[in-house]
Homo-oligomer: A and B are copies of this chain.
Amino acid sequence: MAASHPHAVDALLEGLGRELDRASPLPLYYQIKELLRERIERGELRPHERLPSENELERALGVSRMTARRALAELETEGYVYREQGRGTFVAEPKLRQSLLRLTSFTEDMRARGLRPGARVLDVRVMRDERVAARMGLEPEEAFVRVRRVRLADGQPLALETAYVRAALCPGLEAEDLTDRSLYQTLRERYKLQLGRAEQTLEAGAATEFEAQVLRIPVGQPVLLIERLTFLGDGRTPIEFVRSVYRGDRYKFVVELRR
* Docked complex: A53-83 residues within 8 A CB-CB of B: 66, 77-79, 82-83
> Is the beta-carbon distance between B103 and A259 smaller than 8 angstroms?
yes
Q: Mark A198-229, 1 if CB is under 8 A from B, else 0.
A: 11111111100000000000001111110010
> Quick check: A236 and B82 within 8 Å, CB to CB?
yes
Asked whether B99 lies within 8 Å of A199 as measured between CB atoms, the reply is yes
A78 to B197, CA, bound (A): 11
Partner of A197, one of B103, B206, B225, B256: B256
Structural contact, B222 and A205, CB atoms closer than 8 A: yes
Interface residues as binary, A85-109 with B (CB distance below 8 Å gives 1, 0 otherwise) = 0000000100010010111100000
Q: Judge whether A197 and B258 touch: CB under 8 Å.
A: yes
B202 in contact with A253 (CB, 8 Å): yes
- Decide: A204 near B258, CB < 8 A? Known: A82-B234, A234-B82, A235-B92: no
Number of copies: 2
Closest chain B CB from A144 CB (angstroms): 21
Please state if B84 and A234 are interface contacts (CB–CB under 8 Å): yes
**Nearest CB of chain B from residue A137's CB, rounded to whole Å:** 12
Question: Which chain B residues border A82 with CB–CB below 8 Å?
Answer: 234-236
A221 contacts which chain B residues (CB < 8 A)? 206
The digit string for A227-251, where 1 denotes a CB below 8 A from any CB of B, is 0100000111000000000101001
* A190 close to B (CB within 8 Å): no
- For the complex, give the distance between the alpha carbons of A196 and B84 in Å: 13
A23 within 8 A of B: no
28 contacts between A and B (CB under 8 A): A79-B197, A82-B234, A84-B234, A92-B235, A96-B197, A96-B235, A99-B199, A101-B255, A101-B256, A101-B257, A101-B258, A102-B259, A103-B257, A103-B258, A197-B258, A198-B256, A198-B258, A199-B255, A200-B255, A201-B252, A201-B255, A202-B202, A202-B252, A202-B254, A204-B222, A204-B224, A206-B222, A228-B257
